[in-house]
Amino acid sequence: MQSLNIFMHELLDYAGLFPPAKLTLQESLLNYSSYTKHKQKNWLGKFILPSNKIEDCIEIMLNQKFFKSNDTNLNFSIILNSCEKFNDFNKIIDSDLKSLKNFESTFKNNIHIDSIEFLPPKEVFQPSNLSLFKNMLFLVNDKLLNVNKLKFKFLEIPFSENINEYIEFISEFNTQHKDTNFCIKLRTGGVTPNQIPSAFHIAQAIRLSAEKQIPIKTTAGLHVPVPNDNPEVGARLHGFFNIFSCLLLCYKKLLTISEMENILTNYSYSDFKFTEEGLTIGNKFLANVEMTQLRNSFIKSFGTCSFLEPIEHLHENNFLEGKKHA
């Protein structure tokens, strides 16, 4: 189905190192490499690699001849180390970039890195430190300006009372620096109930990000296409159909927060219809050409510790035809 393939194209960033899977680095790398041969390989995004694992990753890939002979380039997104204090961030970025360059030079024909992700120092998010957030943008931009092929800088922002200001600052910075494109990363789930943001807070962040036309990705808690009760977490989790449909619709034509709350909370499998022409979400329609443009320009991906589980749910609910392909 063409519209489903457009919706899912490179949507699933593989984060096998992270909870709840928490696989070893070698297991995760082998999984990711095998997924590049999967029937739905075009749905596979990047391998999410923390910068403090780069040296271990180099060692594993050098010792496993498979990685050097693999005819498919492996795509990575590197998560920079975080810290408490802003003054420590400068050295951390320098160290991380040194590791990144070593990684690229070692496997220049076998890997591709065009994005980094980072959580700013905790000090930056204190309510009284809004000016420090601006300083942080300048610091990171200066450090990453000359990193080759780096297209996306995903800045994770928390659902706090200052989230509107953070999004405004990112928008202003991008407008003033045409060679820069800071993107937004939203954490949409977690392993405990208090880590699950409300539909209202997600809708609020989507609305302002869409107004400012800032590229966006999400992470955590989105293994299932639609909202679902998860007994292990002890909470109701969000669905990736719901969140990314809200993103697509809102970036196309701004939705109200209440409209998005309804989609995020109440829509289930029967509310999403994929055809050869496009996607119908409730009573709203997105043509394939619109969806393609939005996915290419703004609506990026989400981090998931399982590549297979979202696909299995689509099989089980008749969004995919044919046998499951492991």
Mean pLDDT of 12-27: 96
Residue 321 has pLDDT above 90, yes or no: no
Enter the pTM of the model: 0.95
> At 274, is the secondary structure helix, strand, or coil?
strand
Looking at residue 322, its pLDDT comes to: 58
Encoding tokens for residue 292? 């393609």
**Contact between residue 204 and residue 257 where contact means Cβ atoms under 8 Å apart:** yes
pLDDT tens, position by position, 87-126: 999 999 999 999 999 999 998 888 999 999 999 999 999 9
Phi, psi of 76 (to 5 degrees): -120, 145
pLDDT tens, position by position, 194-211: 999 999 999 999 999 999
Which uninterrupted H or E stretch holds 286? Answer: strand 284-287
Mean pLDDT of 268-293: 97
What are the distances in angstroms from CA 153 to CA 9, 67, 144, 227, 300? 20, 26, 9, 29, 12
Q: What is the 3-state secondary structure (H, E, C) of 87-144?
A: HHHHHHHHHHHHHHHHHHHHCCCCEEEEEEEECCCHHHHCCCCHHHHHHHHHHHHHHH
